[in-house]
Homo-oligomer: A and B are copies of this chain.
């Protein structure tokens, strides 16, 4: 295969020095006339900035990757919608990986940083294994993790606070008079699953409600699995008057099951989801949900990565985004009917964003 144009052939065509071509192509100050000649020659020759040549030279690809756990979960969509414009404004193209939360695939993406097709990576793993930590520590490009990592891990990190989030939801259900609040969770070996299980137990305790494993069911973070788990829970304990669900997809599955069973939401069973995705506002009835600030977390991760690309030596930072409860028809049917201002509206209980900290 014939090689394309190079700095040498452009210099020859433009009648300028190789150093001048290099200055122009790297955007360094150069005489106007030289810039004109070089760009004209480059265009005539069909020169394409070549990632191979560029990465050999500057080790910059002007691409950044975001590895999501599940492209089908609107949480990641909300993140992409924030990450992409922040990076685009800074001159980076975003490439996405969908890992299906498969550890081997996440490790493969971390490994691929050695191949230098991106300048940095934002990753949102559901499970953080020792293999993850080892790869992060030795990664060939900066990594930002969205999700909780063990204390002391030296990595830029954006966290949700699902513990507080679960408490907001349980408090809300308690205040509505619900006393038999079931819990439909995702896998306990995931970081969010474990955190939400602990938070559910604590929140019940704070309100003086007994923990009853009869009304707790573990499935997975998808709609069909959520429906299956909710069905199992309701078959076993038909007397629950509320269901706390560990994400919106599970909650939508629970709504499917309640409707099929002829139960009224929220009169018979109130339902709360988590993540406040687009689906929560759009479902019927609309779904009360705990926002864990997906959009804010995406934006914060993009900003941390840009800061890191500009300064590789500063201390890693942790940004924690505070949760808020968005109340809709699935818990407060009447209030929602009185209060809605539009299809995505909802009464919100806001806790301001915590500022960026200097902690590890």
**Interface of A toward B, CB cutoff 8 Å:** 1, 4, 46, 48-52, 54-56, 59, 61, 63, 65, 71-72, 74, 77, 80-81, 84, 93-98, 108-109, 111-112, 114-117, 138, 140, 223-224, 227, 252, 256, 259-260, 278, 282-284, 343
Q: A54-B115, A80-B98, A95-B96 are in contact. List 6 more A-B contacts (CB 8 A).
A: A51-B116, A61-B115, A71-B77, A72-B81, A95-B95, A95-B97
A96–B98 contact, CB under 8 A? yes
Beyond A93-B108, A95-B97, is A227–B343 a contact (Cβ under 8 Å)?
A: yes
Q: Pick the contact of A51 from B93, B115, B224, B278 — CB < 8 Å?
A: B115
A74 to B72, CA, bound (A): 8
Instruction: Report whether A115 and B80 are in contact in the complex, using a CB–CB cutoff of 8 Å.
Output: no
A115 contact set on B, CB distance < 8 A: 48-52, 54, 61
- Closest chain-B Cβ to A124's Cβ sits at a distance in Å of 14
A97 touching B93, Cβ below 8 Å: yes
Q: Assess A52 versus B56: contact at CB under 8 Å? Given A65-B95, A115-B61.
A: yes
Contact call A223/B282, Cβ cutoff below 8 A: yes
Shortest C-beta distance, A170 to chain B (Å), equals 27
Report Cα–Cα, A120/B108, bound state, in Å: 20
A138 to B4: give the CA distance in the assembly, Å.
13
Inside 8 A of A94's CB, which chain B residues have their CB? 97-98
Bound-state CA distance A98–B108 (Å) is 22
- Closest-CB distance, A98 to chain B (whole angstroms): 6
Cα distance, A109 to B284, chains bound together (Å) = 38
Whole-angstrom distance between the alpha carbons of A325 and B84 in the complex?
36
From A72, which residue of chain B is reached at the shortest CB distance?
B77
Q: Which residues of B contact A114 (CB under 8 A)?
A: 4, 48-50
- The CA-CA distance from A122 to B269 in the complex, in Å, is 46
CA distance A138 to B47 in the complex (A): 13
- Supply 26 A–B pairs (Cβ within 8 Å), ascending by A: A4-B114, A48-B111, A48-B114, A48-B115, A48-B140, A49-B114, A49-B115, A51-B115, A51-B116, A52-B52, A52-B55, A61-B115, A63-B117, A71-B77, A71-B96, A72-B77, A93-B109, A93-B112, A94-B98, A95-B95, A96-B96, A96-B98, A117-B117, A227-B343, A256-B282, A260-B343
A74 vs B278: C-alpha distance when bound (angstroms): 13
- How far is it, in angstroms, between the C-alpha of A74 and the C-alpha of B73 when the chains are bound? 10
A97 to B92 CA separation, bound complex (whole angstroms): 12
Most chain B CB inside 10 Å of its own CB: which residue of A96, A111, A227: A96
Task: Please give, as numbers and ranges, the residues of chain B lying within 8 Å of A93 by CB-CB distance.
Answer: 97, 108-109, 112
Which 10 pairs across A and B sit closest by C-beta, in order of nearness?
A: A48-B114, A51-B115, A96-B96, A284-B284, A117-B117, A95-B95, A51-B117, A256-B343, A72-B77, A52-B55
| A44 CB to nearest B CB, Å | 15
